[in-house]
Amino acid sequence: MAPRKGDSNELARFLSARKESVVTSWVGGLLANPNLRRKLTTQLSREGLSDTAARIYDALIMPLSTPTERGKTRKVRLKESEKRSLATLSLHERLQAQFILLDVVSRMVRRHYSKNPKKAEKHLTTLSARMHDLLLSTAKKDVDLHAKTATHAERKYERLLDMANDAIFLLEFESGLFTEVNKAACELTGYSESELKRMGFNSLVSVFDLNLALEKTNSTIERGAIRFDDLSIFTKKGAALPVDISASAVTINKSKHVLAIVRDIKERKELERRLRQEADKLRLINEIAAAISSVELDIEAVLTTILTSVARVIRVEAGSVLKLEDGELVFMVALGEKAEYVKPFRLKLGQGIAGWVARTGEGVVVTDAHRDPRYYAEVERATGFVSKSMLAAPMKTGDKTVGVIELINKVGGQFTKKDLELITAISSFAAVALEHARLYSECELARARLSEACSPVSSSRLAAVVAHEMKDPLGIVKNYVHILVNKLASAGTQHEELRVVSEEIDRIASITDQLLHFSEAYSEEPKATPLNLLVENAVDSMQEGLSEAGIVTEMKLDRSLPQVSAIPNQIKMVFANLIRLAISEMPNGGTLTISTRKRDSSAYIEFSSTGKKHTSEEADELFLPSAVAKGLVPKGLGLYMIYNIIQGYGGDIEVKSRSRGGNTFRIRIPLNAGVSRGASK
């Protein structure tokens, strides 16, 4: 559409008023280009170049004041030196000079009309049209000149060119025009051969890509060959075609030419786009699989990862993942401008698009949400977010629907069947994540209950109940046995069996007392405890038994040993039981050496006796309940109880046979330990 006369006159006045500034900037741009500076300054001084530029600038501006003269070029009167200087420029260089001028003027127009962008765009449109006329005029003159000077040698390649399947253009570097084109080139561009021979690459690319095309052409001449696929050419019908261009520099009749092989890569670009889409899908699946396989499954984080990744690949404005819970759909995660506002909503089965998908178990593509009778508008009214198109797929485990994935408003188009196929595949991953989370939660709950049931604290409570319940019956039985023994004694009879029964009752009573001590120890709270003092107290409490057995006690205590966080009665019970074991293993006397020391971040307590030596097989069973039945330890709960207490502190206990006879029980307790309420054996 031709510009209005008023707009053109205004632009002409604007450019005339700024002639000196524009010419100065234009000349500066020309001299900044090494090739243009070398050729223009051969015949002209800087002042002469400015005068020449001013006359050419006038020729450009004058037709703007008379729109009916568009397409006409005002004749410029030039001096002989100016003509000779300009004649040294190739068509490429003349086009570059004109492009520099267009850039200078365009920046000046945008700057002046910065507060009126519409006016600026109108003037730039008029200016671009005028410059386009000038470019075509320049090219046409060179075409006419070239037609007169074309030689027979240049046309001998015509048959060879027409045999090629790819489009081939032979470009004369100096004129910038095609001297030869083949049939494929005509088919590619839609122009006839005669039309193409009046053109150059500048006519097949946009004004904005012209500078890039010129740079590529110059690079071909400098480097000998170049290949690029970052340019599109325009057909006669105006369609843009992405092309791959392989250009080589050739010399024909001492004239530089560029032989360009041009291939339509529209199909390749489309294939690359599809490959990128497939790569995005694979990356999406990998991201989701990695999220689902996390050890501690955070279901909200996993579903957010799934939804975010899907939204990135399909490109949507909003989306959500809903979980089916007690017959209603609950928003687990949501993305988009109003994401936080939709989470309080709950949808019944069949309510809205998501409810319909959950009830039927089928995916759906909705191109116009407001025309769909299933659409639930209440969410839109509450949040203000307008849903235009929707895509929803059920999340299934087997035949059971556990939720729905919903995407809203695809950016740049409508949802497709391929989008539905992708989201349906992804929804199965989301369903697995939900099921994984449910199972993980149930396992954690079961493990917590089991840990509670098996903990020393729970065991101690059970032990206390059993011990208390056993004490009264045991006392009654013991009393009746005592009465029976007395009656039989008065009758002058003795029964060895009753003595054995009485001793076994005493043993059961002893075990009951140990259970009570065990449970009472776990009812206390850990506190800073000096281990050396507990060792000394344990020895003092057992001193009578040690003396009766003829056992000498030696203590080698590290007085710098720090305190540990422990329950004192527990640790004292451990030490007392080990002393009791030493007494049973040294019935004929011996030496019990007790030592303490610190190494690394643990405290070590050793009980070394000179009594019975345990084999390696026996050592493996000493801390099991079966050790009592096998006669390896005194009757009772002793070593089994000790093992559980030390394990509760994160420590350990082991027994080693001494080379000179006897055994060493070594206990390790971490210095930063506190009793574990969940430790178990």
Best CATH choice for the domain 5-147 from the list 1.10.3210.10, 1.10.3720.10, 1.10.490.10, 3.10.129.10: 1.10.490.10
30 vs 37: CA distance, rounded Å: 6
Domain ranges of the chain: 5-147, 151-264, 272-433, 457-517, 525-670
Q: Is 272-433 in the same CATH topology as 151-264? A: yes
Confidence of residue 77 (pLDDT cuts 50, 70, 90): low
- What does R_g of the chain's alpha carbons equal in angstroms? 49
363 vs 353: CA distance, rounded Å: 10
Looking at the predicted structure, is the pLDDT value of residue 609 above 60? yes
- Range with the largest mean pLDDT of 57-66, 283-292, 566-575, 670-679: 566-575
What token pair was written down for 91? 């068509």
pLDDT tens-place string over residues 283-325: 767 776 666 665 456 777 778 888 888 888 888 999 999 988 8
Residue ranges with strand state E in 154-235? 167-172, 178-181, 225-234
Using CB atoms within 10 Å of the CB of residue 251, give its burial: 0 to 12 exposed, 13 to 18 middle, 19+ buried: exposed
Nearest to 521 by CA among 627, 621, 646, 399: 646
- Torsion on CA atoms 174, 175, 177, 182, rounded to nearest 10: -50
Nearest to 522 by CA among 490, 560, 555, 570: 570
Residue 438 corresponds to which amino acid? R
507 vs 626: CA distance, rounded Å: 17
pLDDT of residue 364: 92
Q: Higher-confidence residue: 278 or 572?
A: 572
Give backbone dihedrals phi and psi of 22, rounded to 5 degrees, phi first: -65, -45
- In the chain, what is the greatest distance between 2 CA atoms, to the nearest angstrom? 161
β-pairing verdict for 602-609 and 663-670 = antiparallel
Give backbone dihedrals phi and psi of 420, rounded to 5 degrees, phi first: -65, -40
Sign of CA dihedral 64, 69, 70, 76: negative
pLDDT of residue 67: 47
Q: Does domain 525-670 have CATH number 3.30.565.10?
A: yes
Helix (H) or strand (E) holding 474, with range, is helix 456-490
435 vs 551: CA distance, rounded Å: 64
Best CATH choice for the domain 151-264 from the list 3.40.50.1100, 3.90.1150.10, 3.40.50.300, 3.30.450.20: 3.30.450.20
pLDDT of residue 469: 56
Task: Report, as an integer, the average pLDDT of 90-112.
Answer: 78
Label residues 448-465 b or e (16+ Cβ within 10 Å = b): eeeeeeebbbbbbeebbe
Give backbone dihedrals phi and psi of 603, rounded to 5 degrees, phi first: -105, 135
Residue 329 corresponds to which amino acid? L
Looking at the predicted structure, is the pLDDT value of residue 1 above 50? no
pLDDT tens-place string over residues 227-242: 777 778 888 988 888 8
Looking at the predicted structure, is the pLDDT value of residue 629 above 90? no
CB of 360 closer than 8 Å to CB of 340 = no
β-pairing verdict for 364-366 and 602-609 = unpaired
Which residues 6+ apart lie within 8 Å of 352 measured at CB? 374, 375, 376, 379
pLDDT of residue 593: 93
Q: Is 395 helix (H, G, I), strand (E, B) or coil?
A: strand
CB of 255 closer than 8 Å to CB of 174 = yes
Q: Which long-range contacts (CB under 8 A, 24 or more apart) does 22-31 make?
A: 22/57, 22/101, 22/104, 22/105, 22/108, 23/50, 23/53, 23/54, 23/57, 24/50, 25/104, 26/53, 26/57, 26/100, 26/101, 26/104, 27/53, 29/100, 29/101, 29/103, 29/104, 30/97, 30/100
pLDDT tens-place string over residues 448-489: 666 655 555 445 555 555 555 565 666 667 676 677 767 776
Fold category of 272-433 in CATH: Beta-Lactamase (3.30.450)
| Residue with token string 């291939």 | 263
Which residues 6+ apart lie within 8 Å of 319 measured at CB? 307, 310, 311, 334, 335, 336, 405, 406, 407, 408
What token pair was written down for 215? 């740079």
- Range with the largest mean pLDDT of 185-199, 214-228, 253-267: 185-199
pLDDT of residue 453: 53
| 227, β-bridge pairs | 246
Looking at the predicted structure, is the pLDDT value of residue 75 above 70? no
